[in-house]
Structure 1
């Protein structure tokens, strides 16, 4: 069967199912809709060598495999042509398929069923536990056109190289104060967030010191003058996205008396400098142990572990303005 012949069958399926849902009523569930897609295909392909599988593997991509053709079925009860689709890694993709199509049932508004080429329909990447494509019928521009690579070329890339494209695309769309939480190069990653969010104030003193040290090292802007806008934003984002820890008063991690006076109970002086002095050992440990990708994300560059403290001091000296961190820290 040629591509033109297969696409003509898809057009017929969409026309028949559109008429059906507009006359008889919408499909109540996505499973009902996918079943009707399979039944229509079976009827239209009856005189061909293609056989429709009604009991496929639950995680195979795409949903329906017909020799070298594949159909990913999407359904929504809302009035939209957009939906979250498969993982960008496509680790469960069928090896048989060469041409993939999106067949979409939109039950909101005026019910309608339509199809599009899959590579033309991918418009965005969303992140859950893994980055996933977002698809739309007849978009203005595909994700692959935006990234400057074809879908077929993207498929052939190893995971690490795929993530270069995905992270670049995601970073270009970050708003002020936002960070990527998904930094890993592959699905087989040692870092994962816990399902439950932990409150910073409920942690042990040892855990608090460790997290304060990591955040202080990655976010040298904490040394800025006290009225600087957003100086603690990255700290809060890092604790939440990398450790699953929620800290409602991030400023208190560095300027409250409970941390600033821990090493010396005498009041007065620069509380921030005193708080950092108290966790110098933990900051040195963090400099040697934290992943390089975190420094690339937060500092914008890769720095060898043994040079991270000296680099932090250089950045901190430029940011502090009213005091010089290198005069009092890590002497």
Structure 2
């Protein structure tokens, strides 16, 4: 069966389903999928093609018709928009080469339409498992997702998950607004980092946990030493999206007397500088242990662990106006680097 022949079958199926919908409607997704399956079986006349009446529940697509497949979508809303399959496609039926969508819209004017799967995928939703979003037909001149990502769907679907994620992350990053950050960073099918099930308040954490998180945030956000009005914006985003911790007053994490002058010695100075001096050892640990994807996200570049403090000092010097971080922070670290010239700057 050719593509044109199968699409002619879809024309017939959708025309009959639309007529049935307008007469009596379909109440549930399961009812609609069962009718799509039975009607497709009636219309397909090739005896060599057998449609499984009871496929596995999680199979993708829902209906296999030889080398073709039908993914069934259903809504009671007046919209052609729906969440689709996971980008992983781990349950894809191996025999299916070409996937189509049959969409039943049971809101507004009741109608059933079809589309090629890759032509109606317009977005990828970055939930705990990234999922495609389909729309028949795309509105507002929206390009299919794979045109936006400059890769063919058939090429994309054959990639392992760790090679799919850079495409998705680049697409998602291009949609970020000012003050937004990606909350997911992993390239692998099995994430190396997961958020805790419950969120935590920063103020309720132990002293050691607070110190560790302040060190991580300070390392990833060297702009906190500057004077820009938004210099703290990335800190709560990091804590919430990567550590599941909500911070009400980020400024106090680096300027409050309890973190910058815990001994109350009245020696004055720049409180941010004093606060950072007190967590140098924790920042060194963070520089060695945090995953590289975080530095790509927050610094815009990959930096080897051994060079991260030097790079942080370089960045911090560029942000600071009233003091020079490299002249007062990480002196032991800088002296060690001078004595080890084989380490790249």
Task: Name the TM tier (shorter chain).
Answer: over 0.9
Checking the alignment, whether the CA contact within 8 Å between 1:88 and 1:133 is kept in structure 2 is yes
Match of residue 152, structure 1, among 147, 151, 154: 154
SS at match of 1:42: helix
CA contact (8 A) 1:263 1:278 kept: no
CA shift at 1:267, angstroms?
6.3
Offset from partner CA, 1:165-209 (integer Å, 9 cap, x none): 211111111111111112111221221112211111111111111
Alignment partners' CA distance in 2, 1:288 and 1:47: 62
8 Å Cα contact 1:85/1:132 also seen in 2: yes
Cα 1:58–1:262 change in 2 (3 A) is farther
TM-score with structure 1 setting the length: 0.94
Aligned equivalents of 1:168 and 1:120: distance in 2?
20
Q: State the match for 1:239 in structure 2.
A: 239
Corresponding residue of 1:270: 270
Work out the CA distance in 2 between the residues paired with 1:212 and 1:96.
52
Shift of 1:242: 0.8
Post-superposition shift, 1:221? 0.8
For residues 209-233 of structure 1, give each alpha carbon's deviation from its aligned partner in whole angstroms, at most 9, with x where no partner exists: 11110010001111112xx222111
The Cα RMSD (Å) is 1.6
Per the TM alignment, residue 51 of structure 1 is displaced from its structure 2 partner at its CA by 2.6
The DSSP-based 3-state class of the residue aligned with 2:329 is coil
Instruction: State the 1:40 CA deviation.
Output: 1.3
More deviation, 295-304/147-156: 147-156
Report if aligned partners of 1:262, 1:278 keep a CA contact under 8 Å in 2.
no
Cα gap change, 1:263 to 1:242, in 2 (>3 Å): farther
Secondary structure of 1:72 counterpart: strand
C-alpha distance in 1 between matches for 2:92 and 2:268: 63
Residues 247-298 of structure 1 deviation map (CA, whole Å, 9 limit, x = unaligned): 1211121112221222554363322111111111100100011111111111
Q: Retained in 2: the 8 A contact 1:45–1:51?
A: no
Q: Partners in 2 of 1:47 and 1:187 — Cα distance? A: 39
For the pair 1:248 / 2:248, whether they are aligned, the reply is yes
Distance in 1 (alpha carbons) for counterparts of 2:240 and 2:278: 23
What residue is the counterpart of 1:105 in the other structure? 104
Deviates more, 1:123-132 or 1:262-271: 262-271
Query: Structure 2 matches for 1:303-314, cutoff 5 A?
Result: 303-314=303-314
What is the TM-score of this pair, normalised by structure 2?
0.91
Question: Residue in 1 aligned with 2:293?
Answer: 293
1:115 corresponds to which residue? 114
